[in-house]
Amino acid sequence: MSNDETCTYKQGELNQCAPLAVPFVPPQAASEPAYDSGEALAKGTLFPGLDLPFMDYIAKSGAPNTPLAELMAMDFVTHELALYLDTHRDDAEAFETWKKFAMLAKEGQRRYTELYGPITREDVAESKSWTWTNDPWPWDPIGKAASE
């Protein structure tokens, strides 16, 4: 390719227009979470080293005590543990903990859906009609879950 040609997606090979970079993401040093569960849920991470403010926003501590917040906490823990396991696949204890929480989260979602209605479209897969758009939504303050 000559210097006066424009690089396009059609080249099909790495060419002089392609910038090269080597990304580096350091692994977490410890597997022990330091935040308690309420603070971790509010901040969006179990690990203080990953608690970085975004555009001067600092998350508040504490989470509401509602059935939906409990379900969100279970989902959060399973996602955090899965991210940890992506870089620490040989940590058998973390994997066993993830399996326990994954089963608890699945059961919690099933029970929540029975009591308050669907929270994902997949929750209506066994319904007789399309009830996904029926009120109340899980986050709707006038919904059943908000009054508990």
57 bridge partner residues: 54
Best CA proximity match to 117, nearest among 144, 91, 141: 144
Averaged pLDDT for residues 43-71? 72
**For 105-117, how does the pLDDT look when each residue is reduced to its tens digit (9 = 90+)?**
999 988 888 888 8
Judging by beta carbons within 10 Å of its beta carbon (0-12, 13-18, 19+), is residue 112 exposed, middle or buried? buried
Mind listing the pLDDT tens digit for each residue in 65-90? 778 888 888 888 899 899 999 999 99
- Burial label for 60, CB within 10 Å (0-12, 13-18, 19+), is exposed
Could you tell me the end-to-end alpha-carbon distance of the chain, in angstroms, rounded to an integer? Answer: 67
Q: What is the pTM of this model?
A: 0.53
Structure-token pair, residue 143: 């919904």
Q: Can you tell me the mean pLDDT for 106-135?
A: 84
When comparing pLDDT for 76 and 140, which is higher? Answer: 76
| C-alpha to C-alpha distance for 54 and 58, rounded to whole angstroms | 7
> Residues 42, 46, 52, 58: what is their CA dihedral angle, to the nearest 10 degrees?
20
User: In the chain, what are the domain boundaries?
Assistant: 32-52+61-147
